[in-house]
């Protein structure tokens, strides 16, 4: 079940998605963290962030909208108070970072680099409201190139660039990340969406719009992962609406080297582990000795009845 | 390791139009659940509700070898409407008990419960705990229960057996005081000794706000059990934020759902 993400060898290809699994501790009484491929923690900024006012979440058909607003304890407090707990487990720890400027991203990366017990850095470039106007950082290939370069220079750890799906052509962004020196790419972050209460004629979220996640986004995520796999030569991590093993298998067949399980944890705190066990069963049943023999085996055009 | 449990529906009964009493067969450990704690519940193998819904534990008891738990709920939106369609023998998925319970200070001799509508769900559990204490250590339980109309004063008879005294208020005056339950309580407020009395409140948002105002002029200790939309229920998603008095966000599911009323920003 082992996979290699830019030099980081994971015991299996199933990780937890940032922001959906807290700092690991919250779920540790429901699942043995050591059995996961990696734990990706909540997005961390240089200073603690307060997050958005409630209401922050709303259920939508087969998914949910969230506007948590990247509330987090800040990277220093994370290293002091949350990381020691994770070091007790034999599991790869990936920190997810978000900055408001390129300088902040670089600073975050070097702080993470200096802390013991962090195995890789995932860079969230889908954060809105960053330097220079309201555009999403990750929507501009030049910015993506610059952020990736800056983070690359600041650390020896594997760098995973996490892409936003809210762009016109994801492959352009992915290539920029590869060119900047990323070791891997993960996608997708949430899709922007909204929902309205027709009785009060107000939005359901305080911020009006929020990020959509859950099974509703899976077909979009899968399509984007497949496009990126075909556009770059670095490993790709598939994220978006993975609820069970069959969903994860689709991503692996499409060419993802690993997957992350997110919103599914809210329905089932054991979701990542269940996905992992399901992949194992599938491999045994189909005589696949090494998970790598499955990755990227999509027979394109195979469905056409010519 | 904590488990996520499948629980069978033992019965479901519509107590008043749109309001249901759900009885579930739960693992034994639920006997240790504290009043004020809640569960996350969703329907097994159904995609609606997609996320579990939080429900206060209304009652836990044993019948023969079985441990049973009751939930009292109102069909409000899509999720609870789906729950209302549960049938005997159906299975639900439960995580819990979750969150902090009410804390009854040792020195307190009088408990005052102020319940609005569905807010009676956790408070009746608290009253039951109080009534189960050995006679010599039993506290006086004063209950103020308000609802829109008399038929919405759920399980009033049972409440009367658990409490020393129950006073009711209805918006339409169909039973008891005509007006809000907070106004009814306010009239009695001076009779309670702050050193010996603890106040427990659960109800709609409006009610918390009026209680917060009343409490500003009083030094009674007052705990509230509040609601916010939830996804994980265990402190990980940060979806259930509520602002505290210092402007810091607390998680209702993990830091609450029971808070001291003065701890929060109203
Ligand atoms: C700790 C806790 C204990 C609770 N205990 C009970 C209980 O004992 N009995 C009971 O009937 N209900 C209880 N609730 C509320 C319940 O969980 C439902 O979420 C709520 O009734 C709406 O769910 P829905 O699926 O029907 O509505 P949705 O379709 O999700 O929404 C319908 C409406 O309800 C509002 N709403 C959604 N979620 C909540 C929520 N968590 N709290 C308040 N309003 C919400 C929405 O803003 C919307 O206007 C509790 C909530 C919490 C947080
Ligand atoms: C409540 C919530 C909080 C999230 N917080 C973060 C975050 O801090 N950083 C990040 O990169 N992604 C964050 N995400 C996005 C997820 O990691 C993931 O990319 C997305 O939800 C899609 O996967 P899913 O459908 O499996 O949840 C968050 C998602 C949710 C639902
Ligand atoms: S519901 Fe997820 S943190 Fe409270």
Question: Shortest CA distance to A12 belongs to which of A25, A1, A24, A28?
Answer: A1
List of residues 6+ apart from B230 with CB closer than 8 A: A57, B40, B51, B52, B53, B54, B239, B240, B252, B253
Distances (CA, A) of B206 to A30, B236, B255: 36, 28, 22
Write the residue in B1, B42, B249 that is nearest to A71 by C-beta. B249
Please report which confidence band the pLDDT of residue B1 belongs to, taking 50, 70 and 90 as the band edges. confident
Q: Has residue A39 got a pLDDT over 50?
A: yes
Distance CA B14, CA B155 (A): 12
pLDDT per residue as tens digits for the range B38-83: 999 999 988 889 999 999 999 999 999 999 999 999 999 999 999 9
- The number of residues making up chain B comes to 266
Sign of CA dihedral A42, A45, A47, A49: negative
What is the per-residue pLDDT for A278? 97
List of residues 6+ apart from A128 with CB closer than 8 A: A134, A135, A136, A137
Question: Shortest CA distance to B121 belongs to which of B159, B79, B173, B66?
Answer: B159
State chain A's maximal CA–CA distance in angstroms: 61
Provide the token pair at B100. 């902090």
Distance CA B170, CA B168 (A): 7
Query: For the CA atoms of chain A, what is the radius of gyration?
Result: 18
Inter-chain touch B79–A53, beta carbons under 8 Å: no
Q: Which chain B residues in 31-90 lie under 8 Å from chain A, judged by CB atoms? A: 42, 47, 49-52, 78-79
- The residues pairing with B60 across neighbouring beta strands, listed in sequence order, are B69
Backbone angles phi, psi at B159, to 5 degrees: -60, -40
Q: Has residue A129 got a pLDDT over 70?
A: no
Closest CA–CA distance from residue B161 to any residue of chain A (Å): 38
- Contacts A66 to B, Cβ<8 Å: 231, 237, 239
Closest CA–CA distance from residue B252 to any residue of chain A (Å): 11
Backbone angles phi, psi at A79, to 5 degrees: -65, -40
Question: Shortest CA distance to B41 belongs to which of B80, B74, B12?
Answer: B80
Inter-chain touch A50–B237, beta carbons under 8 Å: no
A211–chain B Cβ distance below 8 A for any pair: no
Please report which confidence band the pLDDT of residue A136 belongs to, taking 50, 70 and 90 as the band edges. low
pLDDT per residue as tens digits for the range A146-200: 999 999 999 999 999 999 999 999 999 999 999 999 999 999 999 999 999 999 9
Write down the architecture of domain B110-220 according to CATH: 3-Layer(aba) Sandwich (3.40)
Distances (CA, A) of B196 to A57, A140, A192, A210, B164: 40, 64, 52, 47, 16
Inter-chain touch B231–A66, beta carbons under 8 Å: yes
- Which domains are present in chain A? 3-51+69-190+213-293 (3.20.20.70)
Write the residue in B1, B237, B248 that is nearest to A20 by C-beta. B237
DSSP H or E run through A124:
strand A120-124
Distance CA B209, CA B265 (A): 10
Q: How far is CA B135 from the centre of its chain?
A: 25
Distances (CA, A) of A217 to A12, A57, A130: 24, 16, 25
Q: Pocket residues for ligand 2 (CB within 6 Å)?
A: A 17-20, 42-43, 66, 68, 70, 96, 124, 162, 189-190, 213-214, 217, 239-242, 261-264; B 237, 239
**Class of the domain covering B4-98:** mainly beta
Do the beta carbons of residue A86 and residue A24 sit within 8 Å? Answer: yes
Q: Is A298 exposed, middle or buried (0-12, 13-18, 19+ CB in 10 A)?
A: middle
Distances (CA, A) of B184 to B149, B200, B220: 15, 15, 17
pLDDT per residue as tens digits for the range A197-247: 999 999 999 999 999 999 999 999 999 999 999 999 999 999 999 999 999
Q: Which ligand is nearest to the CA of B242?
A: 3
For range B104-108, the mean pLDDT: 89
A22–chain B Cβ distance below 8 A for any pair: yes
A49–chain B Cβ distance below 8 A for any pair: no
Query: For the CA atoms of chain B, what is the radius of gyration?
Result: 18
- The residues pairing with A193 across neighbouring beta strands, listed in sequence order, are A210
Q: How far is CA A78 from the centre of its chain?
A: 18
Inter-chain touch A20–B49, beta carbons under 8 Å: no
The ipTM estimated for the assembled molecules is: 0.91
Distance CA B90, CA B87 (A): 6
Q: Has residue A302 got a pLDDT over 80?
A: no
Write the residue in B42, B228, B240 that is nearest to A267 by C-beta. B42
Do the beta carbons of residue A150 and residue A102 sit within 8 Å? Answer: yes
**Helix A218-229 and helix A170-179: axis angle, to 10°?**
50
Inter-chain touch A265–B236, beta carbons under 8 Å: yes
Q: Which residue of A has its CA nearest to B228?
A: A55
- Terminal-to-terminal C-alpha distance of chain B: 37
Inter-chain touch B232–A59, beta carbons under 8 Å: no
Q: Has residue A137 got a pLDDT over 80?
A: no
DSSP B43-97: ETT--SSSS-EEEE--EEEEETTEEEEEEEEE--SHHHHHHHT--TT-EEEEEEE
Do the beta carbons of residue B214 and residue B144 sit within 8 Å? Answer: no
pTM equals 0.94
B4–chain A Cβ distance below 8 A for any pair: yes
pLDDT per residue as tens digits for the range B164-195: 999 999 999 999 999 999 999 999 999 999 99
Q: By three-state DSSP, how is residue A202 classified?
A: strand
Average pLDDT, chain B: 94
Average pLDDT, chain A: 93
Residue A127 among the catalytic residues? yes
What is the per-residue pLDDT for A133? 40
What is the per-residue pLDDT for B217? 83
- Contacts B229 to A, Cβ<8 Å: 54-58
Inter-chain touch A26–B231, beta carbons under 8 Å: no
Closest CA–CA distance from residue A187 to any residue of chain B (Å): 19
Reported in sequence order, the residue ranges of chain B that DSSP labels E, i.e. its strands, are 5-16, 19-26, 38-43, 53-56, 59-63, 66-74, 91-98, 110-116, 140-147, 165-170, 177-178, 197-202, 221-225, 241-243, 249-251, 258-260
Nearest ligand 3 atom to alpha carbon B54:
1
Distance CA A184, CA B10 (A): 51
Q: Which chain A residues in 214-243 lie under 8 Å from chain B, judged by CB atoms? A: 214-215
User: What is the distance in A from the centroid of ligand 3 to the CA of A248?
Assistant: 25
- Contacts B265 to A, Cβ<8 Å: none
What is the per-residue pLDDT for A135? 52
SS3 per residue for A203-252: ECCCCCEEEEECHHHHHHHHHHHHHHHCCCCCCEEEECCCCCHHHHHHHH
Residue with tokens 């860079």: A123
Sign of CA dihedral B246, B247, B252, B255: negative
Please report which confidence band the pLDDT of residue A139 belongs to, taking 50, 70 and 90 as the band edges. confident
Inter-chain touch A26–B229, beta carbons under 8 Å: no
Q: How far is CA B193 from the centre of its chain?
A: 24
Lowest mean pLDDT across A280-284, B114-118, B218-222: B218-222
Distance CA A19, CA A66 (A): 11
- Contacts B248 to A, Cβ<8 Å: 50
Distance CA A160, CA A70 (A): 19
Residue ranges of the domains in chain B? 4-98, 110-220
Best mutation site among B41, B237, B255, B257 for ligand 3 pocket (most ligand atoms within 8 Å of CB): B237
- Contacts B47 to A, Cβ<8 Å: 62, 215
Q: Which ligand is nearest to the CA of B98?
A: 1
For range A27-41, the mean pLDDT: 96
Q: A228-242 as b/e, with b when 16 or more CB fall inside 10 Å?
A: bbebbebbbbbbbbb
């Amino acid at each position: 079940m082992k996979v290699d993400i830019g030099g980081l060898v994971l015991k299996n290809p199933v990780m937890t998605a940032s922001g959906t699994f807290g700092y690991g501790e919250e779920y540790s009484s429901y699942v043995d963290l050591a059995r996961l491929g990696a734990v990706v923690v909540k997005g961390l900024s240089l200073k603690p962030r307060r997050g958005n006012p409630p209401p922050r979440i709303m259920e939508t058909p087969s998914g949910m909208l969230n506007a948590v607003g990247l509330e987090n304890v800040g990277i220093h407090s994370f290293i002091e108070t949350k990381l020691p707990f994770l070091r007790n487990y034999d599991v790869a720890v990936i920190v997810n970072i978000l900055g408001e400027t390129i300088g902040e991203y670089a600073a975050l990366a070097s702080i993470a680099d200096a802390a013991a017990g962090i195995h890789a850095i995932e860079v969230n470039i889908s954060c809105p409201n960053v330097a220079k106007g309201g555009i999403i950082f990750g929507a501009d290939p030049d910015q993506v190139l610059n952020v990736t370069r800056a983070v690359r220079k600041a650390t020896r750890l594997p760098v995973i660039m996490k892409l936003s799906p809210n762009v016109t052509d994801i492959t352009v962004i992915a290539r920029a990340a590869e060119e900047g020196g990323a070791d891997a790419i993960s996608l997708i972050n949430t899709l922007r969406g909204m929902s309205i209460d027709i009785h009060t004629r107000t939005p359901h979220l305080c911020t009006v719009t929020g990020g959509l996640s859950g099974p509703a986004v899976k077909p979009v995520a899968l399509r984007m992962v497949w496009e990126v796999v075909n556009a770059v030569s670095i490993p790709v991590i598939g994220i978006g609406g993975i609820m069970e093993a069959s969903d994860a298998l689709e991503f692996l067949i499409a060419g993802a080297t690993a997957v992350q399980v997110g919103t599914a944890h809210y329905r089932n705190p054991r979701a990542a582990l269940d996905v992992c066990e399901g992949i194992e069963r599938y491999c045994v049943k189909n005589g696949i000795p090494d998970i790598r023999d499955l990755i990227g085996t999509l027979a394109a055009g195979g469905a056409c009845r010519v | 390791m904590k488990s996520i449990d499948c629980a069978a529906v033992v019965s479901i009964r519509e107590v008043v139009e749109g309001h249901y009493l759900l009885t579930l067969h739960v693992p034994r450990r639920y006997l240790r659940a504290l009043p004020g704690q809640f569960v996350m519940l969703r329907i097994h193998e159904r995609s609606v509700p997609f996320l579990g819904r939080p429900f206060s534990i209304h009652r836990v008891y044993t019948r023969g070898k079985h441990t049973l738990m009751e939930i009292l709920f109102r069909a409000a939106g899509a999720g609870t409407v789906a729950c209302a369609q549960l049938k005997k023998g159906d299975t639900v998925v439960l995580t819990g008990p979750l969150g902090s319970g009410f804390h009854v200070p040792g020195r307190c001799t009088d408990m005052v419960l102020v319940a609005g509508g569905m807010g009676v769900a956790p408070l009746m559990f608290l009253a039951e705990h109080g009534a189960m204490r050995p006679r010599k250590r039993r506290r006086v339980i004063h209950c103020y229960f308000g609802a829109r109309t008399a038929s919405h004063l759920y399980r009033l008879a049972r409440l009367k057996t658990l409490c020393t005294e129950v006073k009711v208020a209805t918006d339409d005056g169909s039973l008891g005081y005509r007006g809000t339950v907070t106004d009814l309580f306010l009239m009695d407020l001076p009779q309670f000794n702050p050193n010996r009395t603890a106040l427990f409140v659960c109800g709609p948002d409006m009610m918390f706000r009026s209680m917060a105002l009343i409490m500003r002029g009083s030094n009674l200790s007052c705990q509230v059990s509040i609601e916010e939309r939830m996804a994980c229920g265990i402190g990980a998603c940060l979806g259930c934020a509520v602002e505290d008095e210092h402007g810091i966000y607390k998680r209702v599911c993990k830091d609450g759902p029971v808070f001291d009323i003065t701890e929060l920003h109203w």
